Structure 1
Amino acid sequence: MYAAHSPATAFFTHYTTSLCQPKLKIPAAFVVNFGARGGERCSMERRGEVTTWEVRIAEANGEFFFEEGWINFVEDNNIEERDVLIFSYVEPARVFVQIFGTNRCAKRIRNTPGYPSEIQKRLSRKNPTNNAL
């Protein structure tokens, strides 16, 4: 039997700008396992990719959100309306994210126009010593 607030190791959401921008709410059951704390950063990764996105976790009224850095993740991964995102717990403050398009197939970061040059430019501006993708 599933308890409403038992720890969860994964969650999904349908991406819509009205619900997912400028931040994304993290379900309470996932927060229990994830060990999230407001103000901390977490690492978001895509399986098979070398790029990692640092996203700040925000807390408001007992709820947790992916906030600062979240929009960079959305833009860099060409996430669009109605895409499905699956977040899987790896270890504290580290999640893998799978992205499925409206065609129900997994999206690859390399489908993003300008990959890797646009992502590399943005990352280089933030951290001039970051030259690896």
Structure 2
Amino acid sequence: MNFKYADEASFYKILSSDSEDNLTLPPAFAEKYLEKDNNKRGTVVLKTKSAVEWSVKYFKIKDEYYFMDGWVKFMKDNRLQMGDLLVFSLLSPPPNSIFQVVFYAPNGCVKHQICSSDVPYKEQRSKKGSLESAKSFKSDKPFYSVTMKLSYLGEWGLYVPIRFLKRYLLSNDEMSVNCVLEVSDGRKWGPIKCRDYKTCGKLYGPNWKKFREDNQLGVGDVCVLELMNEMKKVLKVTIFGGC
């Protein structure tokens, strides 16, 4: 089999909420290029054009192949979001499989790919703390924390616990309210619509999208939302870089 041209062995996937913990591979591709001697697991390398590499394990469960261990880290490091389209091109065959991955945003444009110059950014984020720091967060004001999932980075918006929503944000029979998000340096984003969906609330809309883009939120980051002004519905967001 000739692997000189990656286009001969490639596939694409559009990220959805089903991709948060693992990525399902096209059966025809997996059977042709990954299934060898009835292997049910293996390791591949995912690399971008900037030459940064991630090791990801794949598993066969029943009749499906999945990228699993290492997949979440790959998504987080590359700040992938729901609706992004990923093109995987196989550069070398098993047992040392290497894929080159190119990302496209929902608008059809190629997305920025992580490179070595991004490392200081990650180190800067880590100074704010980790998941353990988020768990130890304390305040005299009402607050809640949420770990970023792929779905929260898409059109569905950010999760709000129903008890927090009804006690501090909504009045009487209101179903929605406009909120403002701020960060420690004083920057603000709003209005951001917050709506009651019976089992939980969601912060969503174009200003939520701008907030997550301006603050470069990614899968695994932890956000602590602290109610600073109940009348004006101002929530201060402290961001802890995920591990």
TM-score w.r.t. the length of structure 2 is 0.41
1 CA distance for matches of 2:21 and 2:88? Answer: 18
2 CA distance for matches of 1:85 and 1:104? Answer: 11
Give the C-alpha shift of residue 42 in structure 1. 0.3
Unaligned 5+ runs, structure 1: 1-7, 123-133
Q: State the identity as a percent.
A: 22
- Is the contact between residue 52 and residue 114 of structure 2 (CA under 8 Å) also seen in structure 1? no
2 CA distance for matches of 1:70 and 1:110? Answer: 15
Unaligned 5+ runs, structure 2: 1-7, 127-243
- Is the contact between residue 9 and residue 33 of structure 1 (CA under 8 Å) also seen in structure 2? no
* 1:41 aligned to which of 43, 47, 50: 43
Higher strand share: 2
2 CA distance for matches of 1:84 and 1:104? Answer: 8
2 CA distance for matches of 1:110 and 1:57? Answer: 23
What's the CA shift string for 1:10-53, capped at 9, x where partnerless?
Answer: 1111111x221210011111113322443311000112x12100
Q: Which amino acid aligns with 1:89?
A: L
Structure 2 equivalent of residue 29 of structure 1: 28
Size of the aligned set, in residue pairs, is: 110
| Runs of 4+ in structure 1 over 6 Å off | none
Q: Rg larger in 1 or in 2? A: 2
| Structure 1 residues 65 and 110, CA gap change in structure 2 (3 angstroms) | closer
Aligned to 1:64, what secondary structure does the other structure show?
A: strand
Structure 1 equivalent of residue 71 of structure 2: 70
TM-score w.r.t. the length of structure 1 is 0.73
